[in-house]
């Protein structure tokens, strides 16, 4: 899972931009 090591802020930024599945 590519998001395993992603921090909270990075997840939020990505999700805000609608980049869910990258």
Partner 1 sequence: EFTPEQQSLLDYIMDSYSKQQIPQEVSKKLLHEEFSAEGNFLILTEMATSHVQVLVEFTKKLPGFQTLDHEDQIALLKGSAVEAIYWKATIRSPWSLLFSNRPNSFSISDEFITPMFNFYKSIGELKMTQEEYALLTAIVILSPDRQYIKDRESVERLQEPLLDILQKCCKLHHPDNPQHFACLLGRLPELRTFNHHHAEMLMSWRVN
Binding site for partner 1 (CB under 8 A): 1, 3-4, 6, 8-9, 11-13, 15-16, 20
CB of 5 to partner 1, least distance (A): 8
To partner 1, the closest distance from the beta carbon of 10 in angstroms equals: 10
1 token code pair: 């899972």
- Least Cβ distance, residue 22 to partner 1 (angstroms): 12
Written as six digits, the tokens of 10 are 């990075």
The C-alpha angle 20, 7, 3, rounded to 5 degrees, equals: 40
């Amino acid at each position: 899972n590519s998001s395993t090591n992603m921090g909270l802020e990075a997840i939020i930024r990505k999700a805000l931009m609608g980049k869910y599945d990258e």
